[in-house]
Structure 1
Amino acid sequence: MLKYPTYFLFALALLGACSEKPADGEFMASGDQISYNFHVRPILSDNCFACHGPDENKRESGLRLDMAESAYAALKENPGAHAIVPGKPAESEVIKRLVSTDAAEMMPPPESNLKLSEAEKEIIRKWIDQGAAYEPHWSFVPPVKAALPELSDPSWPQNELDYFVGSRLEQRGLTPNQPANKMHLLKRLSIDLTGLPPSLELMQAYQADESPEATEKIIDRLLDSPAFGERMAVLWMDISRYSDSYGYQDDNVRTQWPYRDWVIHAFNNNMPYDRFITWQLAGDLLPDASKEQILATAFNRNHKYTEEGGVIPEEYRVEYNVDKTNTFTKAILGLTVECAQCHDHKYDPISQENYFQLYAFFNNTPEKGYEGDVSISKPAKNPIMWIEKEDLQGVLDFVNHKDTSNIMVSVMADFKDSLRRTYILDRGLYDQPTREVQPSTPEAIFSFDQNTYKPNRLGLAEWTFAEDNPLTARVFVNLIWQELFGAGIVRSAGDFGMQGDLPTHPQLLDWLAVDFQQSGWDIKQLIKTIVSSATYQQSAEVDKKKQEKDPDNFYLARAPRIRMNAEHIRDMVLFSSGLMVQELGGPSVKPYQPEGLWEASTSGRGELAEYRQDAGNSLYRRGLYTFIKLTSPPPKPIIFDGSNRDVCEVTRNRTNTPLQALAMLNDPLVLEASRVLAAGLLDQGKSEDAAIEEAFARILCRPPSAEERGLLTEYYREELKRFQQSPEKILQAVRPGESPLGPMGDTAEAAALMQVIVAIYNVEEAITKT
């Protein structure tokens, strides 16, 4: 481990604000008017719906407080009383129970350990006094484009979304930050749109371009880069729970990577979102489906599979379809429908019948729960699509496959001449079928008209993108916002239901959702709209007033400072050092990993019993291509909050732990990148000052200040003297990694410069988007 005092002085000199952790949602009342959706429902949902909500089996006293007709009706146990009497809080049993001190009457009951604050009780009382008007849940109402709010400073907005943000800032007595300086903005744009830091050439070109269109040209250039598809694929691999192994104990290899190549291809070609999802849900059911459309359906087949002898095949077949159902509803509809697998949802109007109606769409496939143990394993499970040599020269020319062997991919197919019946499973158990159900969707979202939509996955896809579907556009827009700002407008990105966070900017979310639909589901246009805004392009500096008024940056009076994704940290190191092999797509690779880690979690059977590190160019591929073994996910991405890919994940945590600092200080890749960059700069004949300045710019994407330059130069000279006095330490310092040393690689100058570059990589700013 490095223990050099000057390094820590340098790190302290550059230390910035820590990454922010998303907080719970918040919505302030407008004047004195109480809204059921934004003020009352969250209180009832947290404290009352478990016993007085949608779950019929857990409902107490036959009372539902989530529906007006039930809440207004006479109580079954006391016909002379009503839970809620609109306009008359004193006559409403709800108020009487909330303020009671009698343990036999008070609500919530003492044993529940739930309690409303006085402010919450006053909101309920005031709402009843105002008429107790119920509203449909906000996310189940189709979005509409509101008129743009008026601002006291109309010069600030750069496009429509700034009006909504500016209006909320004015309501809170806040003002937006000044625009970010060009180098900070360029780094932010480059990381967000490509997952890579900007090249020196791009930095120089943008700095020199003083035209009003300079930023727009940079945005267009980054969106047109092949790296855009790779950056977006990182998000989609989490959502589609992509991995390179089957999971469970006998965790053997599978070949789903052509699906990843398709995702990259689809994003780079700006495939409209409706087609992107339709092909993944039901490409095989399209008329005269092409192999590309069928390959896209691998989305449904990325879940875990068992290869352990002695299992019950039907149990696992049901589990696989449960996973498909949960992934669709979480990622695309933004709902916690999985809560209704065993019983009616306690908070959302989704019954267990609704759950298995959705399940039925995925239940007509010939997929088996068990095809054999690891001794007869194959890299795909039925149904299978073969990718052959002629496909790579035709419809699947985007698949990066260098050898001549055919590839097997698990894809979707339905029975052609029969229909598997679907039953509600009692308590969700595979062997407890009860009543038969047909494919359908929750009425609360909007009805699945059998005369309009076919009762199969293609019909489900059409329903998903129907004009009246209130969720699809909102959910994806929110995911993109989360990718760019670190937190969504709805911070619970996978839960737009009753227990989810409320949108911080409801009208902005709806405006973006409708605009996205009207654009023809144009993903690049959506992203360009957001990154072209004054909101996105403002500085990330934090002043005391804003920190006190809005510590979690709900209202976006500044750009967020957030740590890069795990894959992008690896990519930054590779790209800035010149080590990156920028090859698009292809099979996953196995980079450096601690010895014994993989073997400790394996059964000792199958092709993946031992970790066999790759060599050559495969060591320097982007983080997207790192081999994901489900029972032993790669350690460095996990340390930096990467997804373990067991299930669909729409939001990553962002933690700050000592392990992350240790990884950056000791990771062989960081050390190798540092010595490669150092040797490369010296091989070009650069002076110590020029080499330090270029290394700084490559990593931090800006020139160093005079103070920073002085600290680094002093540190370089200290290290140079140390290596000159102890030349035997040079080879020990420059040994990490498998790339060759080069002409200057084993000199005292290279070793000293390497230590300086390691220090720069370990500055907080290096792995932070500012």
Structure 2
Amino acid sequence: MTFKRQNILVIGFAIAALFSCKEGKQGGSELAEIDQVSYNFHIRPILSDKCFACHGPDANKREADLRLDVEEAAFAALKENPNKFAVVPGKPDESEVFHRIISEDPGELMPPAESNLKLSDNEIAIIKKWIEQGAKYEPHWAFVKAEKAEVPSQSDWGTNQIDKFTFKKMKEMGLEPNPEAESYELIKRASLDLTGLPPSPEMLERFGDFSGQNSYEDLLDGLLEQDAYGEKLAILWMDISRYADSYGYQDDNIRTQWPFRDWVIHAFNNNLPYDQFLTWQIAGDLLPEATKEQILATAFNRNHKYTEEGGVIPEEYRIEYVLDKTNTFSKGILGITMECAQCHDHKYDPFSQKEYYEFFAFFNNTPEKGFEGDVSRSKPAKTPILFVDQGDLDGILDFINYQDTTQLSISVMGELEGEDARSTFILDRGVYDAPSTEVFPSTPESILEFPENLPKNRLGLAQWATSRDNPLTARVFVNLIWQEIFGTGIVKSAGDFGMQGDLPSHPELLDWLAVDFMENGWDIKRLYKQILSSATYKQSAHISKDHLAVDPANIYLARAPRMRLPAENVQDLVLASSGLLVEKVGGPSVKGYQPEGIWEAASSGRGVLATYVQDKGESLYRRGLYNFIKLTVPPPKAIIFDSSNRDRCEISRGRTNTPLQALVMMNDPMVLEASRVLAGKLWEKYSDSDEAINEAFVRILCRPMKSEEKDLLEGYFEDQLARFESHQDQVQATLEVGDYPLEQEDINPQTAALMQVIVSLYNLEETITKI
């Protein structure tokens, strides 16, 4: 396809987007609402759901040798009946597809009854209208090079270009934007989004009404410069890179990949451009005169599970590791489900099994082994290994937080060369010992043909991925950042930009942001500031009846979202607001409070992780990012709050509201300990319960207390004080929670009563919700 043809199709896509469904769902439009039927927005979703399994890209499962996913095949004469055609543009009555979907004969009806699929009357009507309008096919929107759409001009609302796009959609839906949120709401919101930490009372007071030198822009700039910014964003990247502190599988022993996490935090805080950030992780070892930092970044590829079980077949597991690298790259960086083509041609997307193994070939030439032997001696890193000594820690790797004097070892990438280079074959049905046709490194043509001038190795793959012509990489990343901020991406299915994925709610905005991101040096901090500076972001989260009636899911952003904090940031908020948080950046993972017996019940009984040994001292008060993750037994509290279990690449987390979460907040030793410690500190500062409760409220809720809330909390304090004064035996039992030292002077009814008030504040839904 020529670039001229692509540009025309991009314009057509933008026009078609104007007629996208009002509920933002695939194929969900009512026919009366559609003037011009779009293949991308209206037809492809229907065909993908109901037809492509039998009439799509997978040649092995194709029925009647008929493809409906490509124009040439759909318009061609049917092989079983050369006088008939599946689709005749402009003539539904002569189109066999239309006859089959309206047939009352069970032998002719499509989809067949045994498929358990059925077209609705509205879907049939849309297909008929599409054929009547000429049955125009379009390339899948996500596989067309992104171009900057023209910024809508008719808008009297907003502060930057983002608002022009969102306001246009709001007006189309009959919605009006919310007024701007209160300053204290914006301070808390921005602080949570950029650092994962609540604003301190001092920050709330300093920025107040955003006057003078303490403007909203100053707030954003200050937050972006905090080390906590890199820690917050690193949570997303740990999910994508499937970071864990153990190897997984049965023995599940310890490994030392945490220096990679230190590097990710360092890279984000130093605003390493995203194209370089990717290149170093994909192929840092192949860069000219590669530094140890660039080689360390390639640990991204080696975070997969690794077996240490005796009796395994090494080649079987080596192939598993290469598959994992391939699938992580395709999902986390390109936002596509290429793993579906491991065993056969993809059923929905235009990726053949041959193309999958050509992609696989980029990662198949590393000296990594499937099994390293000697099951009695687990090593903290597997071949290839990067060794880090004190000289590195004092030099180029000074961002690694390591206090020990012993040498560190990290699993990284390497490349086989010359006679040792490994050949790659298509694996029949995806089985490791069934090689068939030899293939060579390449990329799916439907995304972007691999240029002849690039090296056919991981460095060439990185250059292909970060090319201005690549239609996916920038789109996927800006969508991820949008998801981080608004809870849902412009493309809801952030890990699937393919045929089965969700359509973008604001396609022109997505493309505009992607191109703007590339044009401005792949600058991540700039992207964050750009979004957080928009009027769209700064709206109140108040929900009106119109919002609920027209847009309950907030697809069109006429209000700010309300959403639960990520699991790690729930912990961070409790520790930070209580004053317990240890703000040390990086270093080995830590083992906090955990119910007894969980590890032991799931462990094989071998290795240093067979028994759970809780850490002591400041390690108990680190950010949630640093929680030790054992793959076979992920941290239970984090899992209850919907964190990733890290056994594979994940780029979206679910958000639930369950009784278990409430039980955690009411009974977790960390929450109770934080409440006790904060109560003690407040009594050291104040002699009056009113002032103590007020500061506790501001620390935890990050806003002024209302008069009715004040009366309620003070009444609760008096009730609890009376209880403890009349039951002195309960005071010490209540306060003795957690490892933080309990001072003798704090063992009194006043501290115990204030502790109960603070526990109640931590258990408010508002506390752990970004509003």
TM-score range relative to shorter protein = over 0.9
Could you say if the C-alpha distance between residues 501 and 364 of structure 1 is closer, same or farther in structure 2, counting changes exceeding 3 Å? same
Structure 1 match to 2:394: 393
Matching residue's letter, 1:602: S
Residue 210 of structure 1, CA deviation: 1.9
SS where residue 442 of structure 2 aligns?
A: coil
CA distance in structure 2 between the aligned counterparts of 1:751 and 1:688, rounded to whole angstroms: 12
State the TM-score, normalizing by the size of structure 1: 0.96
Q: Look up the match of 1:218.
A: 219
For residues 629-660 of structure 1, the C-alpha deviation after alignment (integer angstroms, 9 at most, x for no partner) is 00110110000000100000000000111000
Displacement of 1:184? 1.1
- What secondary structure sits across from 1:537 in the alignment? coil
Map residues 510-549 of structure 1 onto 2, 5 A cutoff: 510-549=511-550
String of CA shifts for 1:492-512, please: whole Å, max 9, x gaps: 000000000000000000000
1:301 aligns with 2:302: yes
Counterparts of 1:611-650 in structure 2 under 5 Å? 611-650=612-651
Aligned equivalent of 1:423: 425
Retained in 1: the 8 A contact 2:207–2:214?
A: no
Q: Identify unmatched segments of 5+ residues in structure 2.
A: 1-22
Q: Could you tell me how far 1:213 is from its partner in structure 2?
A: 6.8
Q: What residue identity is the alignment partner of 1:182?
A: S
CA distance in 1, matches of 2:156, 2:687: 46
Q: How does 1:276-295 map to 2 (within 5 A)?
A: 276-295=277-296
Give the aligned residue type for 2:188. K
Letter in 1 for 2:447: I
Which shows bigger deviation, 28-37 or 665-674? 28-37
Inter-partner Cα distance in structure 2 for 1:25 and 1:639: 31
User: Contact between 1:82 and 1:93, CA under 8 Å: does it hold in 2?
Assistant: yes
- 2:80 is the counterpart of 1:77: yes
Partner of 1:327: 328
Separation of aligned partners in 2, 1:673 and 1:412: 42
Supply the distance in 1 between the matched residues of 2:550 and 2:436 (Cα, whole angstroms). Answer: 54
**2:689 counterpart residue number:** 688
Describe the SS at the equivalent of 1:400.
coil
CA distance in 1, matches of 2:209, 2:476: 39
Q: SS in structure 2 opposite 1:310?
A: coil
Residue 534 of structure 1 aligns to a residue in which SS? coil
Counterpart of 1:130 in structure 2 is 133
1:380 aligns with 2:381: yes
| 2:104 aligned partner, one-letter code | T
Relative to structure 1, the CA distance from residue 743 to residue 182 in structure 2 (aligned partners, 3 Å threshold; closer, same or farther) is farther
Residue of structure 1 in register with 2:500 after alignment: 499
Partner SS, residue 392 of structure 2: helix
Deviation at 1:420, TM superposition (A): 0.2
Partner SS, residue 415 of structure 1: coil
2:581 corresponding residue in structure 1: 580
CA contact (8 A) 1:280 1:298 kept: yes
Aligned-partner Cα distance in 2 for 1:49–1:617: 56
- Which letter maps to 1:658? P
* Secondary structure of 2:746's aligned partner: coil
Equivalent position of 2:755 in the other structure: 754
Alpha-carbon distance in 2 for matches of 1:123, 1:140: 24
- Relative to structure 1, the CA distance from residue 483 to residue 135 in structure 2 (aligned partners, 3 Å threshold; closer, same or farther) is same
Question: In structure 1, what is the equivalent of residue 110 of structure 2?
Answer: 107
Secondary structure of 1:436's match?
strand
Task: Tell me by how many angstroms 1:609 deviates.
Answer: 0.7
In structure 1, the residue matched to 2:5 is none
Conserved in 1, the CA contact under 8 Å of 2:24 and 2:505? no
Letter in 2 for 1:420: R
Indicate whether 1:68 and 2:71 are aligned: yes
In the alignment, is residue 656 of structure 1 matched against residue 657 of structure 2? yes
Q: Structure 2 residue aligned with 1:48, among 29, 51, 74?
A: 51
SS of the aligned residue for 1:434 comes to strand
4+ residue stretches of structure 1 with deviation over 4 A? Answer: 22-31
Name the residue aligned to 1:17: none
Contact kept, 8 Å, 1:150 with 1:167, in 2: the verdict is: no
| Length, aligned pairs only | 746
Amino acid at match of 1:445: I
Note the alpha carbon deviations across 1:360-380, whole angstroms, 9 max, x for none. Answer: 000001100001254111100
Give the CA deviation at 1:446.
1.1
Question: Which digits, 9 at most, give the CA deviation of each residue in 1:439-461, with x for residues without a partner?
Answer: 00000001002x22111000000
Q: Aligned-pair distance for 1:623? A: 0.3
SS at match of 1:376: coil
What is the SS of the residue equivalent to 1:536? coil
Tell me if 1:269 matches 2:300: no
Report the alpha carbon displacement of residue 31 of structure 1 after superposing the two structures with TM.
4.9
* Structure 2 SS opposite 1:424: strand
Question: CA deviation digits over 1:464-507, x for unaligned, max 9?
Answer: 01111000000000000000000000000000000000000000
Equivalent residues in 2 for 1:337-736 (5 A)? 337-417=338-418, 418-449=420-451, 451-736=452-737
Q: Which amino acid aligns with 1:189?
A: A
SS of the residue 2:372 aligns to:
coil
After superposition, the C-alpha distances for 1:300-350 in whole angstroms (9 at most, x for unaligned) are: 000000000010000000000000000000000000000000000000000
Structure-2 residue corresponding to 1:148: 151
Question: SS in structure 2 opposite 1:245?
Answer: coil
Contact 1:425/1:433 (8 A) holds in 2: yes
> Contact 2:89–2:131 (CA<8 Å) still a contact in 1?
yes
- Give 1:521 shift: 0.3
CA shift, 1:27, in A, is 7.9
Rate the CA distance shift 1:223–1:138 in 2: closer, same or farther, 3 A: same
Give the distance between the partners of 1:416 and 1:322, measured in 2 at CA: 21
Compute the displacement of 1:683 (Å). Answer: 1.1
Structure 1 position 741, deviation (Å) = 1.6
Q: Per-residue deviation at 1:416?
A: 2.9
CA contact (8 A) 1:195 1:568 kept: yes
Q: Do the aligned residues in 1 keep the contact of 2:247 with 2:253 (CA within 8 Å)?
A: yes
The answer for the alignment partner of 1:13 in structure 2 is: none
- SS of aligned partner of 2:410: strand
Amino acid at match of 2:80: E
Deviations 1:531-587 (A, max 9, x none): 110111101110111101111111111111000000000000000000000000000
CA separation of 1:54 and 1:638: change in aligned 2, threshold 3 A? same
Distance in 2 between the 1:605 and 1:643 partners? 25
Name the CA distance, whole Å, in 2 between partners of 1:212 and 1:679: 35
- Structure 1 CA distance, aligned partners of 2:107 and 2:26? 34
Give the secondary structure class of the aligned counterpart of 1:409: strand
Distance 1:295 1:307 in 2: 23
Residue 685 (structure 1) shift: 2.8
Q: Could you tell me which residue of structure 1 aligns to residue 95 of structure 2?
A: 92
Deviations 1:284-303 (A, max 9, x none): 00000000000000000000
Cross-structure match for 2:180:
179
SS at match of 2:54: helix
Aligned partner of residue 121 in structure 1, secondary structure: helix
CA, structure 1 residues 201+252, in 2 after alignment: closer, same or farther (shift >3 Å)? Answer: same
CA contact (8 A) 1:381 1:410 kept: yes
User: Matched residue of 2:263: which SS?
Assistant: helix
Q: Distance in 2 between matches of 1:76 and 1:593?
A: 64
1:192 aligns with 2:196: no
Q: Pairwise CA RMSD of aligned residues? A: 1.2
Q: C-alpha separation between the residues in 2 aligned to 1:524 and 1:95?
A: 51
The 3-state SS of whatever aligns with 2:767 is helix
* Alignment of structure 1 residues 148-167 onto 2, 5 Å: 148-151=151-154, 154-167=155-168
Q: Can you give the 5+ residue segments of structure 1 that lack an aligned partner in the other structure? A: 1-21
> 1:57: Cα distance to partner?
0.4
Question: Deviations 1:671-720 (Å, cap 9, x if unpaired)?
Answer: 00000000000011341001000000000100110000000000000000
- One-letter identity of the residue aligned with 1:146: A
Task: Work out whether residues 427 and 436 of structure 2, in 8 Å CA contact, stay in contact via their aligned partners in 1.
Answer: yes
Q: 1:766 is paired with a residue of what secondary structure? A: coil
2:42 aligned partner: 39
Using the TM superposition, name which of 403-412 and 211-220 deviates more: 211-220
Identity %: 63
1:150 offset after TM fit, Å?
A: 3.2
The Cα offsets for residues 396-450 of structure 1, whole Å up to 9 and x where unpaired, read as: 000000011110000000013332000000010000000000000000001002x
Q: Cα deviation per residue 1:199-244 (whole Å; 9 max; x = unaligned)?
A: 1111101115424971111011101111000000000000000000
**Contact 1:141/1:470 (8 A) holds in 2:** yes
Query: How far apart are the structure 2 equivalents of 1:755 and 1:26?
Result: 52
